Every structure is written in C-alpha cells, then in structure tokens.
Amino acid sequence: MKKLLIMILLAVLLSGCQEEEKVSPYTALAEYIEKWQASEFNDMYDTYLTTTTKTAYTNEVFSEKYEKLYEDLETANLSIEILDKEIPWEEEASVTIPGKISFDTYVGKIEYSKDFVLEKTIAEDEKEKWNIQWDPSFILPNLELTDKVHFSTTYAERGEILDTEGNPMATNGEVFQVGVVPGKFNEEESLQRLSEILNMDEEYIKSQYTLSWAKPDYVMPIKKFLLEEEQTVMAAEEIEGISVKTVEERIYPLGQSAAHLIGYIGEVTAEDLESLEGYSPGDMVGKRGLEQLLEDRLKAKNGEKVYLEKEDGSQVDIVASEPINGETITLTINGKVQQNLFETLKEESGTAAVMDPTSGKVRGLVSLPTFDPNDYVLGLSSQQRQALEENPEKPTINRFSYTYSPGSTMKLLTAVVGLVNGEIDPAATYEINEKSWQKDDSWGGYKVNRYYEEDNIVNLESGLKFSDNIYFARAGLDMGAEKFQEGLSRLGVGEALPFIYPTVKSQISNSETIEDDVLLADTAYGQGELLMNIVHLASIYGGVVNNGKMMQPILLEEEEETVWQEEIVSSEQAILLKDYLRKIVTEGSSQKANVQGREMAGKTGTSEMKTEQGPSGDENGLFVAYDQQDPTLLTAMLVEGVDKKKPRGSTYVVELTRSFFEKIDVRE
C-alpha cells in the first residue's frame, strides 16, 4: 500500500513538471518585442526566429536592414501592440497573433498592421518553444528583400519679408554661381585674372577648388553673384575652366539700406543645432535682424517622402509629408522712406527712425555704417568677414537697438513733464543775465552754460526756441527730482520699449534715480545720465504731435494700433508745444530746417561724450522733426562725431534732415 502511494505521488509531480514546461507563444512574443524595442537585433535573430526564416535571411541581412533603415529614418517611439491576447494555443502547432507596429520618423509617423506567426518547436532540452516567422515587411510595410528604399525631398520656400506696399525686402530668387572645374582650369595662366574679375583673394579662390573632395571634372563653387552683376559673371565665364549657372538663394533687394533691420540667413552651426529644434546640418537659419527674430514664422518645412521601388519599377509610398512654405510677413516700413533715409546718412555713423505718430507705424529704421546682407548669403571669405568685424567704424553694430543721450531734444520732455504736473507755467519767466550759472556755492566749480545770450527774460517758448540750458536747468530744479522722475516714468523712461525689435531700455540715470541737484539740472536740459533709444525718442515727440496720445511703435502691419500712453499732455498743451516746435524752425535755432512747400517743426540736440566738465568731448548731434502739414513722417536722426563736421554740431543733422524731406514723398 505504501509503495502504491509513492508511485501515485511521483505521477502527480511528473504531471506538474510537464505542465510547467508549456510555454505560451504570448510570452515568447513579449520577449521578442522587448528585444526589438531595445534594438537587440542579433538576439532577436539567434533566439526567436524560425529555422525557415534563418534559411531565407542571414543574420547580417536581418540586423543590417533594421539598423540601416531605422538610422536613416531617424526612428523613435517604436510601439508594437498585440491586438488579440486570448487566441487558443495549447493544442496548436502554429498560432497567428495580430499586431500593430508604429514609430515616428523624420518624415512622419508610420503605422501598419502585421500578423505574428509563431511555430511550436521542441528545443534540444526537449522543452517546447515558440519561434517567429519573419520577413522584411516587419521593418516597413510591403518591404521585400529585393526592394530599394528611396528618400525624396520636395523643397519649401522660406517666407518673404515685404514692405508696407508689398515690395520685397527679403525674398527668394535666382543668382549666378561661379565655379571652377579643376581639370580644365589653368591656374598659372588664369588665377590672377579670375581674382581681379571677381575681386577675390587668389588664395581663397584656390582653397575652394582644391578641397579634399574635389575631382578634375567636378564644378567647385567659388562665389555667388546677384543677377545685376551679370557683366562680372560673363567676364569670368570667358576663362577656360569656369562654369556659371543660376541657383536659388535668399536675396535682399534693399541691400545695405535695410541690413540691420532685416538681417540675413546663414547655415546652422553646431551651437544652433543644440539650441534649435527641427534643424539638420546644412539647413539655413536667420542670423540677424528680423530674419532671426521671426525665424519660427519664416522658416520653411520641406516635404519628405519614403517609398519603395519594386523590381518591376513600380513604386509604393511608405510615408510622406507635404512641403510647408514659410509665412509672408509685411512690415510697416516704407521701402522708399528706408532707401532715402539710408542715402541721406550713408556717409555717417549714427541712426535714424521715421514714424507715423498717428498710428505708431515705423516707416524707416537705419543704422550706419552698415554692410550688405547679400554678401553674407552669396559668400564672404574669412578675411572679408574679419575685416567687417574689426572695422573701427563698427558697421556690424546695430545702433538703433542701443540708447544715447538725447542732448537738447530732452528739453521737450522736460516741458511735457513740467506742463502736466503744473510746475512749468508757459508765461512764467526767468531773468538770465549770465552765460554760466550755478544754483549756489555747493556746486563748487560746476556751472550750466548757455549758448544764446541775447534773450534775458526767458519763458518756455524762448527757452525752447533758443535751446536755453539755464532755463531748463532751473525749471528742473524748481520741479524737484521726485516729480521730474515721476513724469519721465509716464513717458516710458526706465521701462522696456514695447517694440517687437529688441532694444536696450532707456534709463533716467546710471543708478536709476536722480540723487543730487547737479544731476537733476543736467538731466532737465539734456546733459545728465539719461539715455534713450531713438525709436523711444520719436515715440515721445510723436505723442505731442498726436495731440497727447503716445502710440506704441509697431513694425508689423498685422500689429494692432495701440495707445501706449493715453495723455502725455493735454490737447491744449500739445497745440502749444507744436507751435513752439514750429517757431524753433521759423524763428529760432533750427531755421536751416526749412523746406519749400513744407511747414517743418522740430528740436535739435547735441550731447557731449565726456566724463567731466572742461575740454570738449566727442559730440552726437540730434534732430527730431516733422512737417506740420503732413506729420506722418516724424523723423528722429542722430549722427555721431558732429564736432568734426561742417557745419559743426546739431546744425549738421538739421541739414541732413532737410535733405531727407526735400527728396522724399511717399505719395508719389
């Protein structure tokens, strides 16, 4: 009896062991999927594939197909989903389990259904095992071993930048590309001649056609040229071994006129690829100006397609994306104004802004000296780029982004603040009999100087008309630092300019407050530490011209016209100040601003760049002006180094402004 019980127990134990040896196909498939998602392709092949599959496809073919295609497609987020987990399998030698495969690629998402066929086998240890049938269509739908996988690109166009009248400021067009065919080019006879025609260094030209990948019959690109430079290109083409063709490129029709405003594009750098998403080596990206600021809107997205070419020549599309062109963006800039502003100032160092004070629309914005953005996209040698960057005139510095002392243009701001807070009475006068003045002995040797001595009983009108430093210094002191600063804050001084183009914010002083009477007096007449951006200065003057409403400066036509400050002065005070600004030109210090057929009004300013009273320092000259018959082109202009000009000082800027208004008429 005891022996029988032992035999029964052994039978039960053996039966349990046999049950444990049964392996589910779902378990094998889950392990296989885990290896797949970990890209362990060798293990997938060695451990899980059927003998039939291994006979048809070598491990080398299997692994290389996966690795190569996944790398080329930039595969990510691989997902393999089992669609039916309750298929009976215990008594089956083969089972088919439906699945779904998906993954992201650089083109888009690929998603397809695929059945997993598993076969039951007995392993060497006599345990059951499930193996998977495989073919290339597990990698890509419909893929066969004899297929060729192709990748194609449909190029999209970068968005254009247009001026307010629809004229291009940054566009896409054809240019000439000059290249050298090394095997046909006689360096000894022709290199010097080519260098002279193209105005390029011989060594640079040579470096381009002797690159490591050059071959005798390859066309090695040397430089691109605008279509208007056809004469130069044709002269080069006469040389044996020179090839010329047209290619697509970014073009800046206004050239130097709008260089700092529009900027240019260039090839992405390693740093760009780290900080920007969606770019690959060789892509172009905005490098400066609006090209950079509006990059997300201007950039194009090329259309891509992955397809199979079958043995019979037919094609099967796998995944495709449509090309998406960049946006076309229209600026408030008027191209004629922009070009004329540049032509007026092209020999100077400085900056200027033209604004419509009734809307806040910026019609012109220049920084001088400048560069030609076309040079950057057509090709600059390292020597040319270095020469630009090391030029003592600093043509690559964008001056309209920075702040400057407003000089005596500040006097209108002091008048605005004083009128609003009631501390300046237009009829009240100061008796000023001296050329130099100080509050008291506490100022030591420091004095405020005036340059027009004929007027001794000075009110607001004559103070503005003849730019009397002592009048405004005394007005500032009588007002007091607290009220003065509060008034300037209402004009936006000390806050970021609400302008799409980034600028340095204005400041009241280096310490952001007026700490003593000397600084208060100096600031009130325009020689303190107050610094202001040229667009901000134009906006404040525009607020007076617009009867007290200071508009937010806008650069894109799509931007809504917005009042920045509702009432910087009352309408009555604005009328009074506009009358004074007109008299500055008709009777006062800026009579050279008169233009036939216009009613010019404005205020000059000169700021000395020095750290202490005494010998003269370098001077910047300013003039803010407009035509009272048509105030839509209020112009704020700053020129550096006017102490070395003829006529000297701000009068030089007055004459430049007059020249600008004489030749510009946007109504033509």
Residue type, 513: T
Label residue 421 left, alpha or beta by phi (over 0 means left) and psi (-120 to 50 means alpha): alpha
Residue 288's closest CA among 309, 272, 266, 270? Answer: 266
Average pLDDT value over all residues in the chain: 93
Q: Specify the CATH architecture of the domain 337-663.
A: 3-Layer(aba) Sandwich (3.40)
d(CA 403, CA 249): 35
Give the residues across from 265 on adjacent strands. 286
Provide the pLDDT for residue 279.
87
The Cα–Cα gap between 44 and 59 comes to 9
Calpha distance 449→451 (Å, rounded): 7
Q: What does the pLDDT read at residue 21?
A: 57
Helix orientation angle between 410-421 and 469-479, rounded to the nearest 10 degrees: 40
pLDDT at 4: 43
Question: Among 8-22, 451-465, 589-603, 648-662, where is mean pLDDT lowest?
Answer: 8-22
Q: CA–CA distance from 575 to each of 46, 360, 451, 582 (Å)? A: 91, 19, 27, 11
Q: Which residues contact 188 (CB under 8 A, 6 or more apart)?
A: none
Query: If you average pLDDT over residues 397-410, what whole number do you get?
Result: 97
Cβ neighbours of 663 (radius 10 Å): 11
The residues assigned a catalytic role are 408
How many whole angstroms separate alpha carbon 374 and alpha carbon 381? Answer: 13
According to the model, what pLDDT value does residue 530 have? 97
Q: Which of 68-72, 497-501, 609-613 has the lowest mean pLDDT?
A: 609-613
Alpha-helical (H) ranges within 514-649 are 517-525, 534-545, 571-586
- Residue ranges, comma separated, of all CATH 3.10.450.100 domains in the chain are 21-143
- Amino acid letter at 286? G
Residue 493 exposed, middle or buried by CB count within 10 Å (0-12, 13-18, 19+): buried
Percent of the chain with pLDDT over 90: 87
C-alpha distance from residue 481 to each of 127, 359, 477 (Å):
95, 32, 7
Every domain range in the chain assigned CATH 3.40.710.10: 337-663
Return the CATH number of the domain spanning residue range 21-143: 3.10.450.100
This prediction's pTM? 0.86
The class that CATH gives domain 161-328 is: alpha beta
Q: Provide the pLDDT confidence category of residue 609 given band limits of 50, 70 and 90.
A: low
Mean pLDDT on 494-507: 96
For residue 631, is the peptide bond before it cis, meaning its omega torsion is within 30 degrees of 0?
no
